[in-house]
Amino acid sequence: MFKKLNKKKKNQPIESNSEIDLHNVPNHVAIIMDGNGRWAKQRKLPRIKGHYQGMQTIKKITKEASDLGIKYLTLYAFSTENWTRPKNEVNYIMNLPVNFLKTFLPELIENNVKVETIGFLKELPKATLEAIDKAKEKTKTNTGLKLIFAINYGGRAEIVHSVKSIYEKLSSEGSSSDQITEQMINEYLMTHSYPDPDLLIRTSGEQRISNFLIWQVSYSEFIFNEKFWPDFDKEELINCIKIYQSRQRRFGGL
Ligand code: FPP
């Protein structure tokens, strides 16, 4: 006979009514914002409507992350592999920063949020780059939440880029590979000025990394949330943080 298991829903906090511990909020949260297309499909809408709605979620979650005292929020907005999507979808996503930042920039400034990016930005359309540069410029002295958009970003490409730069440095100095350490590789990554993510969230129920921050998430806590990104909200974020707080991080120790 099988014993009837006391079923606890996956990824539910131990005490769902418990308060969030504001002294143990993850310093760096990274999010794979997945499910925009399926959210639209469910509603018989074109995929781009899902991305539009996803952008609205970014606004809400940024505000919430800032209010909670999260210091770094890294969002996977466009991967090096996303160029293979239909042209109209790629164009729409590339236009999002232009439209979004027009309306959202004043709020970001008001909330002391600093906009930053990781990724191969040179390959972006001119208008996209200009909108991003403007947001960075206008928020550069802000000291609150760092909102880091990963755009045209891929973890493997980032590591290749880092290794090439290290090789160039060492060969120009005539130094040997003995100089190469984990710290050195870190210093040559696009994320060199950020701590590693404490918490990685992926929405939409998929359980993959999809080439996102593959070096940096070595000791991050992973949470796979069932909601499509346009439906992810304050309650879901708080729930994720409670789950994070119920975990024991050991970093390879005991
Ligand atoms: C994943 O959903 C989402 C994306 C590939 C893009 C999301 C990007 C934004 C909402 C904002 C972009 C912002 C900037 C600043 C460039 P999916 O389309 O893969 O969903 P699916 O898996 O259901 O098809």
Lowest mean pLDDT among 5-19, 100-114, 157-171, 235-249: 5-19
Distance from the alpha carbon of residue 48 to the mean position of ligand 1, in angstroms: 9
Distances (CA, A) of 145 to 42, 100, 139, 192, 251: 33, 18, 11, 17, 25
Range of the domain at 58: 28-154+196-246
Strands (E) in 134-228, as ranges, are 146-153, 199-202, 221-224
pLDDT digits (tens, 9 = 90+) for 185-232: 999 999 999 999 999 999 999 999 999 999 999 999 999 999 999 999
Q: Could you tell me if the CB of 93 is within 6 A of ligand 1? A: yes
Overall average pLDDT of the 147-174 stretch: 97
Q: Could you tell me if the CB of 108 is within 6 A of ligand 1? A: no
Cα separation, 159 vs 218, whole angstroms: 14
Is 251 inside a domain boundary? no
- Decide if 77 contacts 35 (C-beta within 8 A): no
Is 6 inside a domain boundary? no
Average pLDDT along the chain: 93
What pLDDT, on the 0 to 100 scale, is given for residue 3?
42
What pLDDT, on the 0 to 100 scale, is given for residue 253?
83
**What percent of the chain shows pLDDT beyond 70?**
93
pLDDT of residue 137 exceeding 70, the answer is yes
pLDDT of residue 119 exceeding 70, the answer is yes
Q: Could you tell me if the CB of 116 is within 6 A of ligand 1? A: no
Model pTM score? 0.92
Q: Which of 31, 36, 132 to mutate to test the pocket of ligand 1 (most atoms within 8 A of CB)?
A: 36
- 77's enclosing H/E stretch is strand 72-79
**What is the total count of domains within the chain?**
1
Active-site residue numbers? 34, 82
Q: Could you tell me if the CB of 227 is within 6 A of ligand 1? A: no
Is 214 inside a domain boundary? yes
Overall average pLDDT of the 20-30 stretch: 96
What pLDDT, on the 0 to 100 scale, is given for residue 60?
97
- 118's enclosing H/E stretch is strand 114-118
pLDDT, greater one: 250 or 39:
39
What pLDDT, on the 0 to 100 scale, is given for residue 208?
96
Q: Which of 31, 32, 33 to mutate to test the pocket of ligand 1 (most atoms within 8 A of CB)?
A: 33
Overall average pLDDT of the 137-145 stretch: 97
35 in a known ligand binding site? yes
Is 97 inside a domain boundary? yes
Cα separation, 12 vs 70, whole angstroms: 21
pLDDT of residue 58 exceeding 70, the answer is yes
CATH of the domain at 105: 3.40.1180.10
79 in a known ligand binding site? yes
Q: Could you tell me if the CB of 82 is within 6 A of ligand 1? A: yes
What Rg, from alpha-carbon coordinates, does the chain have? 19
Is 34 inside a domain boundary? yes
Residue 32: strand, helix, or coil: strand
Is 167 inside a domain boundary? no
Single out the residue of 108, 114, 79 nearest to residue 93, CA to CA: 79
What pLDDT, on the 0 to 100 scale, is given for residue 68?
97
What pLDDT, on the 0 to 100 scale, is given for residue 12?
52
Cα separation, 126 vs 85, whole angstroms: 20
Is 21 inside a domain boundary? no
Is 201 inside a domain boundary? yes
pLDDT digits (tens, 9 = 90+) for 83-112: 999 999 999 999 999 988 888 999 999 999
